[in-house]
Amino acid sequence: MSNALPRSATTIALLADIPSTGHVGETRAHRFPLRGQGVGERSAAFVAFAREEVAAGRKVIALHPAWRSADAERAVNFARASLRTDHVAGIAVDLSPLALSLIADQLAYLAPYLPPGMVAALCDELPKHILAGAWLRTVSGLSTIPTSLRQHVGSFAPSVSFLAYCAPTPRVGRLRPADVPGSLPFRPVPPVQLLSSTPDPGITGVFDEHLPQAIQPVATRSLPAQPLGPAYWGTGKYVEFVALSAHPQALAYAASSLRTAACSWCGEPMAAELCPFCAATATRTPAAPATPPATARTSAPTPHHPPPPGGRPPGEPRPEGREPQPDTPRTYSR
């Protein structure tokens, strides 16, 4: 008998025009592009949705891009104020559109098996288990990831291009073909899958020649370009990608990596300094590491939708440092 929580415990929403990758099967976060003439019109659909979810006894975790947060924050505040509830949490995630789309659907997949506070904590944990970024022809318009003056000047050279990473750590560097395999800041545990998208299929030559060989995926998928991709990358000349592990227990391992403590007010497990729901602090006694039930560890989408990705498999020790060194790829044995 499964000891999973009721499937209605937590609902995941994504407040941005970021379509699903479809990589996690039919499990998807609810999308709200926040379109309309005024703030009220852009927020109306989400506020109505939150009202229904809270009335049904569900908590809502609303993700939104950290680099485009104004309308999303207003929508979350409207929902919390109009419903007079703290069961709606807004969480800003600093990822590119393709990576954020995947993370939102992964959270929706895990939501039935974990308490709401744990799902909210995974918003920061799951990006540490993927390699996400883009090949860029220029970084002159890139403002979401720190760049140097030298890199901006180099954008005017006709033969120069760049690799920019937003996960697991933000980083930008020139693309030097011989150095690509050794300069990857992170390697997901095999088997690895590679997702990519671009608004201009005619510019993928450099990307196709170097990134797949360095990442060595067992499967690749080309997806439609994300509508907000040019806004995030500051150019239309890019190939966005996410490399992720297809290990069947990858997501379960990511969840078990969390160290949480119960909120002193609402009791939700939390890993951040403040509870994402009520903004209270944690109690002093840490909660036990989260381990999804057997259903979550063994359940997987149909063969047409590979198992959701994540980090290292269970049983393998975590390295001493959580973040990879800039010039040393982080590898793990199977």
The full DSSP string for 251-272 is HHHHHHT---EEETTT--EE-S
Tokens of 15: 């407040």
Please write the tens of the pLDDT for every residue from 1-45. Answer: 344 444 448 999 999 999 999 999 999 999 999 999 999 999 999
Q: Which residues pair with 220 in a beta bridge?
A: 194
- Are 308 and 269 contacting, i.e. CB atoms less than 8 angstroms apart? no
Instruction: Give me 233's structure tokens.
Output: 């990358």
pLDDT tops 80 at residue 323: no
pLDDT at residue 79, rounded to an integer: 97
Q: What are the tens digits of pLDDT across the range 130-162?
A: 999 999 999 999 999 999 999 989 888 888 999
Task: Work out whether strand 59-65 and strand 171-174 pair parallel, antiparallel, or are unpaired.
Answer: unpaired
What's the rounded Cα separation, in Å, for the pair 291 and 5? 13
The per-residue DSSP string of 172-199 comes to: EEE--GGGHHHH-S--PPSSEEEEEE-S
* pLDDT at position 320 over 70: no
Domains identified in the chain and CATH numbers: 10-129+248-298 (no CATH), 131-187+190-245 (3.30.1180.10)
Which position has the token pair 């120069």? 160
Reported as a pLDDT band with limits 50, 70 and 90, residue 260 is confident
**pLDDT given at position 282:** 78
**What is the token pair recorded at 6?**
């009721």
Name the residue with higher pLDDT: 242 or 322.
242
Neighbouring-strand partners of residue 262: 269
**Percent above pLDDT 90 for the chain:** 71
In this predicted structure, what is the pLDDT of residue 68?
Answer: 95
Per-residue pLDDT band at 237 (split at 50, 70, 90): very high
Return the structure tokens found at 276. Answer: 């994402």
- Check residue 272 and give its pLDDT: 85
Question: Tell me: the pLDDT tens digits for 69-104?
Answer: 999 999 999 999 999 999 999 999 999 999 999 999
What are 162's two structure tokens?
């760049």
pLDDT at 147: 94
The predicted model gives 104-129 an average pLDDT of 95
Whole-number average pLDDT of the chain: 85
pLDDT digits (tens, 9 = 90+) for 19-29: 999 999 999 99
Tokens standing for 216? Answer: 């060595």
Helix (H, G, I), strand (E, B) or coil at 324: coil
Token pair belonging to 330? 């982080």
CA 175 to chain centre: 24
The continuous run of DSSP H or E covering 83 comes out as helix 70-83
Q: Give me the helices (H) in 199-300, please.
A: 205-215, 229-233, 250-256, 294-298
The region, left, alpha or beta by phi > 0 then psi within -120 to 50, assigned to residue 156 is: alpha
Could you tell me the pLDDT band of residue 292, with boundaries at 50, 70 and 90?
Answer: low
Amino acid in position 164: A
Q: How large is the average pLDDT for residues 189-214?
A: 95
Instruction: Enter the pTM of the model.
Output: 0.83
